[in-house]
Amino acid sequence: MRDTSALLVFAALLSAVACDSGRHSSAGFRLSPDGDVERGKTAFVALGCHTCHPVSGVELPQPTVKPPVPVVLGGEVDTEMTDGYLVTSIIYPSYALAHYPAEQITSGGKSRMPCQADRMTVQQLTDIVAFLQSRYTVREPPPDTYH
């Protein structure tokens, strides 16, 4: 009986680890902690990100792209934004499209946002993620209505 319990615990641990491993897992993804919010804001403008995206609570030049992109960055969210999600959104924007009408954010079935991977340095990417992370807040869950 004891061996069976140990085997079940081992199998549960192994399956938990297996769920978070592999090439496409974000479990081990980490950016350098030296991302700088102010440098990120500067890079965001220098790379023209502000021409499509406003950032909640930040004074930037107004977006100019036509038709306008409805994706506002920052603000309150239900779950914490991960660095991996933000990096993926920047370097592979068609991977996970935002929840807006497709005609507002896509062209030919792909994101209207161009891939940024060949336009920025790793330091700029790290700084932009730090800048965007500083603009998101996780909203408080609603009070438990079931007592």
**Cβ–Cβ < 8 Å for 41, 75:** no
pLDDT at 34 over 60: yes
Continuous segment of H or E residues that includes residue 107: strand 106-107
Q: What is the CATH number of the domain that holds 40?
A: 1.10.760.10
Within-domain flag for 39: yes
Phi and psi for 58 in degrees, rounded to 5?
-125, 130
**pLDDT, position 12:** 45
Within-domain flag for 5: no
Query: Global pTM?
Result: 0.77
Determine the Cα–Cα distance for residues 51 and 47; give it in Å rounded to an integer: 9
Residues whose CB falls within 8 Å of the CB of residue 124, separated by 6 or more in sequence, listed in order: 39, 40, 43, 47
Within-domain flag for 121: yes
**pLDDT, position 32:** 87
Q: What is the pLDDT of residues 82-140, one digit of tens each?
A: 999 999 999 999 888 878 888 888 888 899 998 888 899 999 999 999 999 999 999 88
Within-domain flag for 6: no
Determine the Cα–Cα distance for residues 76 and 80; give it in Å rounded to an integer: 9
Region 66-73 average pLDDT: 90
Q: Which domain holds residue 85?
A: 35-138
Q: How many domains does the chain have?
A: 1
